[in-house]
Chain A
């Protein structure tokens, strides 16, 4: 059967749009089947943060996150997308509560997967206590949803990366797809430098940041299951691939936690003394590991599929 012309146009646009540079709304519009997004508490509801005015800061009508329902190749999915340019995509009270509510619904229904397009620096400082607690509630809601059989997939490739509590939430997902600019960490480069000194971590050394926290390292380490090139279409295909790969993986439970424990303990045994990501990649058997950062996406994906670890049944 030949795809309708509007689907071909949409795929072409998605193929030509950088996931990293696109807004959260553009990412969702091109990632999902055309026109399928139904947003919950959208901008017209004007549910802004009640706390930013204390600091005389501008609000955004969706508080920096879009949550809703859409379709992927016709199948229903719940989606959440953070806008990394508004307050660094950080979690505040309203922002976080939208994702919590979405996960509560997903848990109740059980069969509809959740896609989370992370783009966050972590907790929003101006409402730090509410943001921290929102992250704790999201983690709880996500584990409850996964225990009820829900697949939760994180897509990480935004400008703000996935830092702070966002990194912990990502660590609670069923699977992750990441692109090269998608960084995953708890402490950001500047935070490490401020607390431990420039000798510990030079936050201006972009190559160091990329190879320590970036998508390629996370994929080789087994922290992410799929590496995506930086287009919205590649992330769409990665989401579809993960939904299929997770099909035969059973529900979250004690066996999975024990497997994850073994996976992480083995990582510490094998790489705990490595000084740099290049040492880890070399220990993993990558020839000419120092050239990994320059590899084009297709060559890197081939390499990662050959030697990179996966964690689908151990997270």
Chain B
């Protein structure tokens, strides 16, 4: 689905969402009448300092003016890999965007990520992975690390990596792998109205807590993470 198709299906009653230079910002009205704040990154745009500050600026301008959920649409490249971005402190700009999203979610503005295209590495951390619920659309193709780069570092052939990827979701790109890990909560259908699926999700939002460890365990993608975190927490709580 193109971004326009997605927006039309999400908000059949119309919306005030602009996108230019790969940056999505605006708001829309749900069929229930409530407002939803929308940001995102489109056209496989790299997330650099300029893009990150625009997105966090849009959030901070609106965050204390309304209630209602925040939708984060994601079709990005990786973080922008350039001398200028690193010189200016890209890590702070990406962390800032993630912090604003996490803070909003904790303060009554539930956040939903909608991964509809590509995303990778730092760009995914600062957007979709900083939301409470990350939803995938069919055709989305997240890649924390692409296989050619992995082949280079691990000195394994592409064929060998592809063979290994059949037995574990832990390293290879793809939406279903991220779903098994617990990173993507669910995949929506593109044959049904997205507005209906969004409203169903909003009507049944999980509580404000990170469930990704538990989901990864349930789905068999990350068998150790949740238990290790819980054991460390319990040991640390005994220290007093």
Asked if the two chains touch in their complex, CB atoms less than 8 Å apart, one says: yes
In the complex, identify which listed stretch (A2-10, A27-35, A105-113) lies at the interface while the others stay far away: A105-113
* Other-chain residue from A38, A171, A261, A277 in contact with B87 (beta carbon distance below 8 A): A277
Question: In the complex the two chains form, is A261's CB within 8 Å of B49's CB?
Answer: no
Question: In the complex the two chains form, is B83's CB within 8 Å of A212's CB?
Answer: yes
Q: Mark A132-156, 1 if CB is under 8 A from B, else 0.
A: 1111110111011001000000000
Question: In the complex the two chains form, is B106's CB within 8 Å of A143's CB?
Answer: yes
B residues near A128, Cβ cutoff 8 Å: 144-145, 150, 170-171
Q: CA–CA, A108 to B94, complex, Å? A: 27
Question: In the complex the two chains form, is B91's CB within 8 Å of A130's CB?
Answer: no
**Any chain B CB within 8 A of the CB of A58?**
no
**Any chain A CB within 8 A of the CB of B198?**
no
Question: In the complex the two chains form, is A97's CB within 8 Å of B94's CB?
Answer: no
Interface residues of A, count at CB 8 A? 87
Not counting A185-B90, A280-B87, a sample of 12 additional A-B residue pairs whose C-beta atoms are within 8 angstroms of each other reads: A41-B231, A55-B154, A93-B170, A93-B228, A97-B232, A102-B232, A129-B144, A133-B225, A165-B122, A187-B90, A254-B64, A257-B103
Q: Which A residues lie at the B interface, using CB under 8 A?
A: 38, 40-41, 47, 50-51, 54-55, 67, 69, 76, 78, 93-94, 96-98, 100-102, 104-106, 108-109, 123, 125-137, 139-141, 143-144, 147, 164-165, 167-172, 184-187, 191-192, 195-196, 200-201, 212-213, 217-218, 221, 223, 252-254, 257-258, 260-261, 264-265, 267-268, 271-272, 274, 276-277, 280, 315
Q: Which B residues lie at the A interface, using CB under 8 A?
A: 49-50, 53, 56-57, 60, 63-64, 79, 81-83, 85-96, 98-100, 102-103, 106-107, 121-122, 124-126, 129-130, 144-145, 149-150, 153-154, 156, 164, 167-172, 177-178, 181-183, 210, 212-213, 216, 221-237, 239-240
The 9 A-B pairs with the shortest beta carbon distances in the complex, nearest first, are A171-B95, A101-B232, A167-B91, A105-B236, A101-B229, A136-B129, A97-B228, A128-B145, A40-B235
